[in-house]
Structure 1
Amino acid sequence: MTATIITTFSADDLVRHLPELGALLRACVHDGASVGFVLPYSVEESEAFWSGKVLPSLRAGALVLFVARHGEAIAGTVQLDYDTMPNQRHRAEVRKLLVHPSFRRQGIAKALMTELEHRAHQLQRSLLTLDTRTGDKAEPLYAALGYQTAGVIPQFCRDTLEERLDSTTIMYKTLGA
């Protein structure tokens, strides 16, 4: 049985694994994940997200990219964005928790979030925030990990698969000392 290993990727790692990261994001979007994209969604758009949005923040040292590997395959990722203003150095944002549809229900999302919270604590971040589509599969996971709902914003974003607007739930977690 192959174990899933959680690592962090550098900017160079992202560049080396751009096709796999692009395939992961594309598979999640095509499976209906509400992570900012709508269908049709191409490989080129997916890779452009990683190289245009994530890579600059990694290079600037403002973001940590956690990657779950199952054997040689990239099974999931999550980002810890800690590029905050001076009066917000105590907080960070959880971004783009992605688990490939083939690897779901194996504890990968929880393992990624556990590593993210550990690193946030090391970075002296005591408050984490995130948003998730209201009613999405991830919402109960976040609640089980101790995230509290701050509120719901109706009609926040367009649905990935259908022509409708979805609400988003804003959540937060205070990390212990």
Structure 2
Amino acid sequence: MKGTAVHAITRLTADAYRDCVDHLAGVLVDAVAGGASVGFRAPFGHEQAADWWRSRQPAVTDGGLTVWTATAVGAATGVVGTVSLAREPKPNGRHRAEVLKLMVHSAARGRGLGRALLATAERAAKDEGATLLLLDTATGSAAEHLYHAAGWTRYGIVPSYATDPGGTLEDCSFFYKRLA
């Protein structure tokens, strides 16, 4: 995937999502193998990742979760990144949403794709009437630096919040962003 250019960021329909699960699984497996604290422990295989993505299908179908993929020209699978946006189902929280599973394949990092995926989710949330976004990430991670640079505000750190894929406890930083 080195040297490939981003072709498109696509919002997946429920049908397209179903067809893309294996590609999304590849990005998730790569993230976990690279040490990303995205909710899974090693060893973590492709079928486990695909099963997790399949478990999200009902939320995609009912509109509670939107998933985007980034594709690259010349890549074997084409999918080199993803981001998701979860809407708050409670009536008193419909003004907010949560950014989830922002991941870029290790072979496609360092080209601004993470920033582009994040901006896509932010625009969609704003277009849908959200005024507040939330997310969390491992403290000190590259993702944390991305969120700071993109204008997000860290509102707290919880020590020993989750483990990395190897089982080591890590602190977690929580962020918000107000959408104008």
**Same fold, judged at TM 0.5 (above):** yes
Partner of 1:43: 46
2:120 is the counterpart of 1:115: yes
| 1:43-75 CA-partner distances (Å, limit 9, x unpaired) | 1110011001x2111011111111111126101
The whole-number CA distance in structure 1 between the counterparts of 2:104 and 2:174 is: 20
Q: Any runs of at least 4 consecutive aligned residues in structure 1 with deviations exceeding 6 A, and if so which?
A: none
2:97 is the counterpart of 1:92: yes
The whole-number CA distance in structure 1 between the counterparts of 2:5 and 2:138 is: 32
2:69 maps to amino acid: V
Using the aligned pairs only, state the percent identity.
36
Partner of 1:66: 68
The whole-number CA distance in structure 2 between the counterparts of 1:64 and 1:172 is: 19
Aligned length: 174
SS at match of 1:17: helix
2:63 maps to amino acid: G
2:160 is the counterpart of 1:158: no
Higher mean C-alpha deviation, range 81-90 or range 118-127: 81-90
SS at match of 1:59: helix
Partner of 2:26: 23
The whole-number CA distance in structure 2 between the counterparts of 1:130 and 1:17 is: 24
Contact 2:14 2:60 in 1 (8 A): yes
Coordinate RMSD, CA, aligned: 1.2
SS at match of 1:40: coil
Provide structure 1 residue ranges, at least 5 long, that are not aligned to the other structure: none
The whole-number CA distance in structure 2 between the counterparts of 1:104 and 1:142 is: 15
Question: 1:4 deviation in Å?
Answer: 3.0
Contact 1:84 1:91 in 2 (8 A): no
The whole-number CA distance in structure 2 between the counterparts of 1:129 and 1:16 is: 28
Partner of 2:153: 148
**In 2 relative to 1, CA 46–3 (structure 1 residues): closer, same or farther, beyond 3 Å?**
closer
The whole-number CA distance in structure 2 between the counterparts of 1:3 and 1:48 is: 27
Of 33, 36, 44, the residue aligned with 2:36 is 33
SS at match of 2:38: coil
Question: 1:136 deviation in Å?
Answer: 0.8
Higher mean C-alpha deviation, range 106-115 or range 11-20: 11-20
Partner of 2:138: 133
Provide structure 2 residue ranges, at least 5 long, that are not aligned to the other structure: none
Task: Using structure 1 for the length normalisation, give the TM-score.
Answer: 0.94
| 1:136-162 CA-partner distances (Å, limit 9, x unpaired) | 11001001111001100111111212x
| 1:26-47 CA-partner distances (Å, limit 9, x unpaired) | 0111011110001011111100
2:25 maps to amino acid: G
Task: Using structure 2 for the length normalisation, give the TM-score.
Answer: 0.93
2:86 maps to amino acid: D
